[in-house]
């Protein structure tokens, strides 16, 4: 075995999202979100599952925080449910805010660093009813929400993230209909993406004005590692088209204060970008302390239609990768793609990076000895942590890794069929059982080192 050590001060954690774990959707003054509405739409979610109960984290908060402490987790990335704090998207619900104050204080009492995300997809339904992210008005409401949370919790939270994966909100929520609010119009993806970019900028500026100077601000993007299916020019053009739609739509305005011309050119058939007003692009760009990068699998793109079209596009098509190992979700596994993604982003933008999500689903079960032997997850995590170290060795400024996810949970459109957790949840009894992978990761963190098989 080869021993590889992580940089001094490397940050570690596990992550979750509010709608996926909290439950208690009708309690404490919480209002409905678009995911409450969507999950109750017949046919939207596998087996008709909903997040009504999920992991019941709302009622089991202290026990879950104890479990994080038992696993010696240095940091915990969680999201605030906007409709719990502002049921109508506008008006404070003190009971909802108090829940997150207890969460933050409970983490600090246990020596765990809070990493707070403002928006992990659960828009208040009241705002969706008047246009949602298609409306510029939602940008202002998000800035108000950010200001409130920043004032109330920012003195105890060291890291605040504006948005999680706006790509999913824009494309899966509005172009393909796979996610809430379930709309299917590719042209809608671009005003939504722009309003998310603008909301990020305004929220980050608002946070900076109310939180301590020591607080770190970030945004988390699920950047796509896209390669062409062949060396043919048409395939290379299709891959570039997909990369621009997936990455540049967000990276340009957020990190440079402008959309690259390629964004307008590659989307001209769908939109004229008339919704971008003078000054918007600069407003999207607020200095960040790091960029969060979520990564699960690579993408291969062809100009020939042989699979699903790339979200938000009518010309690029995804290609299956049968030569690579596949997860139970049929996602290809290629750790080296994470290395390439991190080094590419570092080279292009020179921004500190934290891997804020990375993990693998499985059909995990508790055996007769009360263990969950998820060796496939240990292998996945080990290989991808090795890929992070490869990126560090190549010069990328990668400062941390947050595993996805703490608990088995409501996996969006997949319902409860897919388990990403490092802790098993029995969804009948809600009993938690740390998997072998949780103990393995705790050991890696404690030693700040990774043992890897010798390379041939």
Query: Is 120 marked as binding a ligand?
Result: yes
In degrees rounded to 5, what are phi and psi of residue 6?
A: -85, 155
Backbone angles phi, psi at 207, to 5 degrees: -60, -45
CA 443 to chain CA centroid, Å, is 25
Bridge partner list, 33: 124
- Active-site entry in 11, 128, 152, 357: 357
Strand partners, 116: 78, 160
- Cα distance between residue 203 and residue 208, in whole Å: 8
Structure tokens given for 397: 């400024």
152 in catalytic set: no
- The two three-digit tokens of residue 79, written as one number: 């999201």
8 Å CB contact between 180 and 132:
no
Nearest to 204 by CA among 191, 216, 221, 214: 216
The answer to the question of whether 27 is labelled as a binding residue is no
Long-range contacts of 307-311 (CB under 8 A, 24+ apart): 310/241, 310/242, 310/245, 310/246, 311/171, 311/172, 311/175, 311/176, 311/186, 311/189, 311/245
Q: Give the whole-angstrom CA distance, residue 364 versus residue 408.
A: 9
Is the bond preceding residue 405 a cis peptide, omega within 30 degrees?
A: yes
The residue annotated as part of the active site, out of 165, 266, 281, 283, is 165
CA proximity to 107, closest of 60, 56, 156:
156
CA–CA gap between residue 23 and residue 19 (Å, rounded): 7
Token duo for residue 182? 């379930």
411 annotated as ligand-binding: yes
Residue 371 has which token pair? 């263990």
193 contact partners, CB below 8 Å, separation of at least 6: 166, 167, 170, 249, 250
State how beta strands 11-15 and 2-5 pair: unpaired
Contact between 327 and 361 (Cβ < 8 Å): yes
Q: Is 357 annotated in the active site?
A: yes
- CB 409, CB 421: distance < 8 Å: yes
* Residue 164 assigned to a binding site: yes
Q: Is 296 annotated as a binding residue?
A: yes
Q: Is 412 annotated as a binding residue?
A: yes
Kindly report the length of the chain.
456
Q: Which two tokens stand for residue 276?
A: 């971008």
Query: Residues comprising the binding site for substrate?
Result: 20, 120, 164, 296, 404, 411-412
* Residues identified as active-site: 165, 357
């Amino acid at each position: 075995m080869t021993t590889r050590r992580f940089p001094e001060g490397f940050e570690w954690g596990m992550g979750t999202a509010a709608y996926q774990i909290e439950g208690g959707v009708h309690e404490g003054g919480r209002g409905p979100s678009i995911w409450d509405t969507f999950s109750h739409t017949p046919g939207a979610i596998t087996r008709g599952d909903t997040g009504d109960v999920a992991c019941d984290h709302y009622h089991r908060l202290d026990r879950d925080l104890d479990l994080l402490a038992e696993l010696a987790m240095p940091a915990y990335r969680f999201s605030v449910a906007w409709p719990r704090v502002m049921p109508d998207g506008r008006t404070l619900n003190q009971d909802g805010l108090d829940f997150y104050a207890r969460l933050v204080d409970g983490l600090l009492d246990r020596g765990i660093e809070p990493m707070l995300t403002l928006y992990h997809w659960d828009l208040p339904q009241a705002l969706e009813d008047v246009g949602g992210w298609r409306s510029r008005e939602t940008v202002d409401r998000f800035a108000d929400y950010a200001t409130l949370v920043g004032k109330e919790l920012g003195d105890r939270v060291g890291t605040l993230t504006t948005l999680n994966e706006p790509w999913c909100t824009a494309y899966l929520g509005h172009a393909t209909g796979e996610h809430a609010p379930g709309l299917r119009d590719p042209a809608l993806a671009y005003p939504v993406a722009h309003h998310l970019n603008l909301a990020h900028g305004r929220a980050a500026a608002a946070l900076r004005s109310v939180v301590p100077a020591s607080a770190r601000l970030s945004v988390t993007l699920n950047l796509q590692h896209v390669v062409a299916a062949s060396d043919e020019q048409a395939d290379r053009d299709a891959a570039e088209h997909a990369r621009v739609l997936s990455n540049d739509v967000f990276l340009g305005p957020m990190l440079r204060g402008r959309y690259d011309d390629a964004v307008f050119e590659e989307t001209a058939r769908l939109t004229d970008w008339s919704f971008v007003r003078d000054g918007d692009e600069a407003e999207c760009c607020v200095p960040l302390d790091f960029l969060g990068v979520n990564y699960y699998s690579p993408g291969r793109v062809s100009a020939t239609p042989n699979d699903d079209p790339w979200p938000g596009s009518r010309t690029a098509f995804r290609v299956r990768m049968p030569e690579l190992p596949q997860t139970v979700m049929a996602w290809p596994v290629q750790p080296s793609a994470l290395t390439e993604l991190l080094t590419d982003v570092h080279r292009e933008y020179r921004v500190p990076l934290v891997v804020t999500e990375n993990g693998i689903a499985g059909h995990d079960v508790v055996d007769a000895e009360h263990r969950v032997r998820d060796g496939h997850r240990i292998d996945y995590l080990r290989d991808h942590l090795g890929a992070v170290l490869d990126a560090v060795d190549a010069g990328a400024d990668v400062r941390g890794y947050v595993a996805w996810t703490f608990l088995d949970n409501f996996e969006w459109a997949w319902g409860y069929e897919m388990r990403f957790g490092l802790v098993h949840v029995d969804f009948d009894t809600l009993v938690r059982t740390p998997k072998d992978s949780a103990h393995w990761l705790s050991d890696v963190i404690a030693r700040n080192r990774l043992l890897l098989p010798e390379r041939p």
